[in-house]
Amino acid sequence: MLLDFEKPIADLEAKLADMKQLAQDKHVDVHTAVKFLEESIIKLKKETYQNLTRWQRVQLSRHSERPYTLDYVYNITDQFIELFGDRTVKDDKAMVGGFGAIDGQTFMIIGQQKGRNTKQRQQRNFGMANPEGYRKALRLMKMAEKFNKPIVTFIDTPGAYPGIEAEERGQGEAIARNLREMFMLKVPVICIIIGEGASGGALGIAIGDKVLMLENTWYSVISPESCSSILWRSWEYKEQAAEALKLTAEDMMKFKLIDGIIEEPLGGAHTDINRMSQTVKQEIIRNLDILNQLTPQERINLRIEKFCSMGVYIE
């Protein structure tokens, strides 16, 4: 998948490949030209990815090859045991979770999961969880608390599923209950936005002691397209909407809504999944060491204080 702003880079890479093929077929010395092209590609990549617009970061966060929750899980854990069901309705495939061991420490890992192909996307409901998905997540969090295991959540969703049946089964109540219960969890909670962080669907598993965002992700009450359709009655103004929403990781840090940004490989997380996974793993371990120095009540108090201090209001 090639994004619009990546085409100049792709053109140079194609020229480089042609040049190398020519040198191999015709036995021509093009070492100098190859070196110049390679340097030009690196320079162009840095200029492009270090100066992305907000909309371009939204596009990168949705890249079809970007790692999803289970990609990280299987890359960072030594062993993972997936758990299923909310014990009320059914198992929601859009929300995955289970116990996983990272460097000998057991974690409860929970996250939204998207699909790679049409069949998987339908099975995973495009990463949009139903009420049973959020109730499943809460059940697993309570299990983690019972066994005194830290929790890691991976957020990547275009929003909670908005269907009639989801509303009938209490979508709003399920998310609201998660928010309340996550504030009071006695174990460390680390939340990482790895792709899209849209609305209450993201927030439903994002109340944590540490909330981190990958460099090319977004976090907002509404997507740029939906915002554009409401304000301008058209999706054509999504770029302007993205700028107005200020939804990037850098924006979130400025507003003090998150605790840190995790740097991605040049070109995005999908360009080097192993390296990205190891970076995420290191951040999880580093933040857990910090949180373990606090008592459960201290973590709860700081968690509540952090979220209560967000935003601007007048009494």
| Block residue for tokens 């999944």 | 273
pLDDT at 172: 95
pLDDT at 193: 98
Give every residue of the chain whose pLDDT is below 50, as ranges.
Answer: none
Domain assignments of the chain as residue spans, ordered by start: 7-51, 57-308
pLDDT at 231: 94
What values do phi and psi take at 108, rounded to 5? -95, 120
Does the structural domain 57-308 have CATH classification 3.90.226.10? yes
Q: Where are the beta strands (DSSP E) in the chain?
A: 79-82, 95-102, 105-112, 151-157, 189-198, 210-214, 218-220, 260-262
CB atoms under 10 Å from CB of 88, counted, come to 12
pLDDT at 238: 95
Closest CA to 59 of 120, 116, 1, 10: 1
Distance of CA 111 to the CA centre of its chain: 9
Supply the Cα-derived Rg of the chain in whole angstroms: 21
pLDDT at 158: 95
Contact 189, 215 (CB under 8 A): no
302, amino acid identity: L
Q: Tell me 92's DSSP state.
A: -
pLDDT at 274: 96
pTM: 0.93
105, amino acid identity: Q
Structure tokens at 269: 């997380």
Burial class (CB in 10 A: 0-12, 13-18, 19+), 19: middle
Per residue in 38-86, pLDDT (tens digit) is: 888 899 999 999 999 999 999 999 999 999 999 999 999 999 999 999 9
